[in-house]
Amino acid sequence: MILKRFILRHRALVLGAVALSAASALSTMALLSYINELAANGVHAGRATSLLEGAGWLVAVLATGAMSQFILARLGGDLVAQLRIDLSRRFIDLEYEKLANEKHAIFGSLIEDVASIAPLVLVAPLLAYNGLLVVLYASYLASVSPPLLGILAAFLCVTVVASLVLERFLRRRFDALREANEKVFEYFRYLSEGKKELALNAARARHVADELIRPAIHRSRRLMIQVHTGLGFNEAWSSAVIYASVFVIVYVGYASLALPQATIMRFVIGALFLSGPVAFIVSAARQVGVGTASLRHLQRVGLDLGGEVDPPAHGADPGIGDEWRSIALRGVSYAYAGDEDGRIALGPVDMEIRRGELLFIVGGNGSGKSTLLLLLASLLTPRTGELVVDGVPLELDRQRHRERFTGVFGDFFLFPHVLDVAGHPLPDERIRALLVSLGLGSQVQVTQGELSKLTLSTGQRKRLALLQCYAEDRDIFFFDEWAADQDAHFRDYFYRMLLPELKARGKTVVAITHDDRYFSLADRVVKLEAGRIVSDTRRRDGGAAYAARDPAAGHRVS
């Protein structure tokens, strides 16, 4: 568990905080004893000495408390930083499938859950401090009057039992509140990512605001009120029980036990001091409830922090010595999570890609082209069938296989730093030359591998994405409708110059395209319809003729 690992890693600071908390508790106890002695016996000769002794205990309480709070602040800062580092690494290691299905929930974890989990560590030394205070105060009260302590203990037991029952009742509501906030985050994402569409369509903007965001916020509000009302009732109940116990103690002490006034006064003062740490322990349920709900949420979305997080590898070149010859899908099918009735998006599919070939994947919208590409790159896990490299099923070494690929997705993301295959910045001179060749030399500058501008047209942004591919220079280049947003010149340049040049360098190229007038340039054209391969044509003699295979018929036709 992350909290256990963190405490072990920072055990010196944690032990220091606990020790200072204990010292603060002892100083507070000594101060209480001194105040009770003054209250019972009065101030006689040596007032200055009495004042100095009391001031000394006050200074001790302040010093130990201040140092303890400083250490707790240090622990809090360290924990938040460590949580963010660990979560970001888990995020990087998370499978694409999981992220694609629950993106809003996982992004919310990086923001809200970190802030909720951190107080769990900070509250531990404070619980130890207040727990020690309870023990010391109880010991002191036992020396004053065991019968009165028995009455007080009975009231405290009632408080503890009621708190445990309430905690079990609120646990589901904590989880429901976390899920409600997650839905609010999802709708907030609509505001940022769909701002242009909302600006053009006032009716949709009203729908998002009134039918989605407002109900989600109200549900979160309702659950928040329920949770915090329950916690507040617990705190109010605990305070009322303490005051009720003091009332009963005074009444019983005088009416039934006939105790002297001095004894009852000393006990009442001690009981009121005891109410402070008891109230803190009860109120800590708020932080513990929110924090544990966040821990459960992390486990649910796949960001479980239960084990050590391996540091990312640096400087490795996964392509060295990797002389693969073919990549094949054997009986592969895939269905996206959330599709009604488990509708198959692709498959079953049998196909093979040979090293060095130029392959076009074609078909209508929704035919499964992008899904096929993601399966080839092992970013999706087949529902049935397997991915095979040189006749060997791909099992555990999925990351090495993925690092054979570089390319531009349909929903690509641009990073400002241009890095080579080992993760090092590409030399600025090389980047400038690529920018010029892509027609962006005058729009984008580069300094120490970082591009000066990413806010370009969609076609120009795709060229910057292509620049990143050239920098990585992996075995397999893929393009998902790369030419769709290019002008006529660059579209022609892409098909007639860039793709053949990559093939001449021994690269394997997979391009999803609708540009049928360029199909003759490919070594092979695979056509999909409704998730199935309906034709697989291969060039025979310099592009003048093709041999076509009908997968359904199982034979070749001219």
Residue 468 resides in a domain? no
**Is 430 domain-assigned?**
no
Count of domains observed in the chain: 2
pLDDT at 555 over 60: no
- Do 259 and 166 sit in the same domain of this protein? yes
Longest dimension (CA), the chain: 119
Residue 362 has pLDDT above 90, yes or no: yes
- State residue 556's pLDDT score: 33
Residue 553 has pLDDT above 80, yes or no: no
Q: Residues 333, 280: one domain? A: no
pLDDT at 94 exceeding the cut of 60: yes
Do 398 and 499 share a domain, yes or no? yes
Residues 262 and 334 in one domain: no
Clarify whether residues 511 and 550 are in a common domain: yes
* pLDDT one-digit tens code per residue, 459-490: 999 999 999 999 999 999 999 999 988 999 99
Whether residue 445 is contained in a domain is answered as: no
User: How confident is the model over 295-333, as pLDDT tens digits?
Assistant: 777 777 666 655 554 554 444 444 434 689 999 999 999
113 to each of 25, 76, 151, how far by Cα in Å? 32, 14, 41
Same domain, 372 and 234: no
Residue with the two structure tokens 């963190």? 6
Domain membership of residue 502 (yes or no) is yes
Instruction: Please state the rounded mean pLDDT for residues 60-70.
Output: 82
The CATH number given to whatever domain includes residue 389 is 3.40.50.300
Q: Do 356 and 297 have their domain in common? A: no
The pLDDT of residue 332 is: 93
Asked if residue 420 is part of any domain, the answer here is no
Which of 268, 286, 301 marks a domain boundary? 301
Residue 509 above 80 pLDDT?
Answer: yes
Structure tokens at 373: 């590409």
Question: Which of 526, 364, 469 lies closest to 482, judged by CA?
Answer: 469
Does residue 537 form part of some domain? yes
Final residue in a domain of this structure, among 239, 267, 301 = 301
pLDDT of residue 319: 42
CA–CA gap between residue 63 and residue 69 (Å, rounded) = 10
Name the percent of the chain lying above pLDDT 90.
Answer: 30
CB-neighbour burial class of residue 58 (10 A; exposed 0-12, middle 13-18, buried 19+)? middle
Q: Encode pLDDT of 403-450 as tens digits.
A: 899 999 988 888 899 999 888 999 999 999 999 999 998 999 999 999
Q: What phi and psi, each to the nearest 5 degrees, are found at residue 526?
A: -110, 125
Residue 427 lies in a domain: no
Q: What is the mean pLDDT of the chain?
A: 81
17 and 90 housed in the same domain: yes
- Whole-angstrom CA distances from 73 to 13, 79, 121, 280, 290 are 11, 10, 11, 18, 20
9 pLDDT above the threshold of 80: no
Please give the C-alpha separations between residue 202 and each of 196, 210, 391, in angstroms, as whole numbers. 11, 12, 56
Mean pLDDT confidence for 332-354: 80
Q: Are residues 294 and 380 in the same domain?
A: no
Is the pLDDT at 392 greater than 80, yes or no?
Answer: yes
For residue 132, what is the domain's CATH number? 1.20.1560.10
pLDDT at 294 over 80: no
Residue 91 has pLDDT above 60, yes or no: yes
- The whole-number average pLDDT for the span 58-78 is 80
Phi (first) and psi of residue 547, to 5 degrees:
-105, 125
Mean pLDDT to the nearest integer, 322-350: 82
Same domain, 124 and 176: yes
Same-domain check for residues 358 and 488: yes
Q: Which residues contact 457 (CB under 8 A, 6 or more apart)?
A: 485
pLDDT at position 192, please?
A: 73
Give me the domain span that covers residue 374: 326-404+475-557
Pairwise CA distance, residues 552 & 442, whole Å: 51
> Is the per-residue pLDDT at 208 higher than 80?
yes
Are 19 and 162 part of one and the same domain?
yes
Q: What is the pTM of this model?
A: 0.68
Identify whether the C-beta of residue 105 lies closer than 8 Å to the C-beta of residue 179.
no
CA-closest candidate to residue 40, choices 48, 52, 32, 30: 32
Model pLDDT for residues 215-236, shown as the tens digit of each residue: 999 998 999 888 888 878 877 8
129-143 pLDDT, tens digit each: 778 778 888 888 898
Query: Could you tell me if residue 423 is inside a domain?
Result: no
The C-alpha angle with vertex 370 and arms to 367 and 372, in degrees rounded to 5, equals 85
For residue 414, the tally of other CB atoms under 10 A from its CB is 15
